[in-house]
């Protein structure tokens, strides 16, 4: 079962694995990720990224979509998206 560290690049196809859930937390008016023994509160950018992790789109496609949504240059946000997804992958919040 020994797995290697998942390295995120533009070809990775991220998704939320079993045991990780995106949920709107009504009483606190925020989006959260519920994960084993953990809870993360998502800001607007993190939420936009996580919502794209559908197990179909690759990271390159996700960056394209976000660049359009946020009307931001691709080159500017690409690094941040990969960085955030790598961090989530290291924490086990996404699979790729």
Partner 1 sequence: MTSIDPPLAMLAEVTHRCPLQCPYCSNPLQLLTASQEMDTETWKSIFSQAAEMGVLQIHFSGGEPTVRQDLEKLVAHCEGLDLYCNLITSGVLLNKDRLIRLAAAGLQHVQLSFQAAQADNADRISAYPNSLEKKIEIGRLVGEIGLPLTVNAVMHRQNLDDLEALIDLSVELGAQRLEVAHVQYYGWGLRNRAALIPTRAQLDRSTNIVEAARERLKGRLVIDYVVPDYYARRPKSCMGGWARQFVNVTPNGKVLPCHAAEDLPGLTFDSLRDRTLADIWQKSAALNHFRGIDWMPEPCQSCDRRELDWGGCRCQAFALTGDAAVTDPVCELSPHHDQVKQIAKKESGESPPEFLYRRIGGAN
Which span sits near partner 1 by CB under 8 A: 34-42, 50-58, 66-74, 77-85? 34-42
Minimum CB–partner distance for residue 37 and partner 1 (Å): 6
Rule CB under 8 A: choose which of 11, 27, 56, 73 binds partner 1.
27
| Residue 44 binding partner 1, by CB under 8 A | no
83 sits near partner 1 (criterion: CB under 8 A): no
What is the secondary structure of 5-61 as a DSSP string? PPPP-TT---BPPTT-EEEEETTTTEEEEEETTEEEEE-HHHHHHHHT-BSSS-HHH
List of residues 6+ apart from 72 with CB closer than 8 A: 66
Q: Is 3 helix (H, G, I), strand (E, B) or coil?
A: coil
The residue within the footprint of partner 1, chosen from 32, 45, 72, 84 (CB under 8 A), is: 32
Report the Cα 64 to chain-centroid distance in Å: 14
Scanning 25-33, 53-61, 62-70, 71-79 for contacts with partner 1 by CB under 8 A, the matching segment is 25-33
Cα gap 39→41, rounded to integer Å: 7
Which residue ranges make up the site for partner 1 (CB under 8 A)? 1-7, 17-21, 23, 25-28, 32, 34, 36-37, 39, 89-92
């Amino acid at each position: 079962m020994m797995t290697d560290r998942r390295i995120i690049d533009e070809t990775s196809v991220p998704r939320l694995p079993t045991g990780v859930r995106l949920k709107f937390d009504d009483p606190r008016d925020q989006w959260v990720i519920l994960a084993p023994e953990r809870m993360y509160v998502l800001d607007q950018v993190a939420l936009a990224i996580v919502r794209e992790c559908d197990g179909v789109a690759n990271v390159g496609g996700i960056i394209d979509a976000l660049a359009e949504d946020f009307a931001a240059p691709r080159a500017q946000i690409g690094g941040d998206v990969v960085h955030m997804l790598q961090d989530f992958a290291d924490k086990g919040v996404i699979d790729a």
